[in-house]
Amino acid sequence: MGPLGSGTHSSAADSGTRILRRGGSVRDEVTSVKEGDFVSAEMHVACGKCLQCRTGEAHICQHVKIIGVDSDGAFAEYVVIPESNIWKLDPAIPQEYASILDPLVTPCTPCWPEKSPRKR
């Protein structure tokens, strides 16, 4: 898990459950992003251990934790997010577009059911 530091631009909902940042400090064991990368994050952290997670249904994890609800979120000085939940963004994407990626997923997912994480 790697903390994204403060002193960065943040676009977030009132609870701090949406995040768009230039990454701050990143732990040494994190390999997919580095300090300064333009990132967003999936704020639902699945446990990886329950039946749903083990059978590819992490979207209905019985022990899901929501960053910004169950722990400090985007409004905190620092936020710790598992590396698997970080989405590295192309720096060419304008911030005003990138800031709506997370809330845009929910209404758009039914448009492409073949790409849904749910098993058929």
pLDDT digits (tens, 9 = 90+) for 9-43: 333 333 455 565 666 677 888 888 888 888 888 88
In this prediction, what percent of the chain has a pLDDT beyond 90? Answer: 14
What is residue 48's predicted lDDT score, i.e. its pLDDT? 93
Report the predicted TM-score, pTM, of the whole model to 2 decimal places.
Answer: 0.68
Query: What fold, for 2-115?
Result: Quinone Oxidoreductase; Chain A, domain 1 (3.90.180)
Vertex 79, ends 77 and 81: CA angle to 5°? Answer: 170
- The answer to whether 73 touches 79, Cβ cutoff 8 Å, is yes
pLDDT beyond 70 at 73? yes
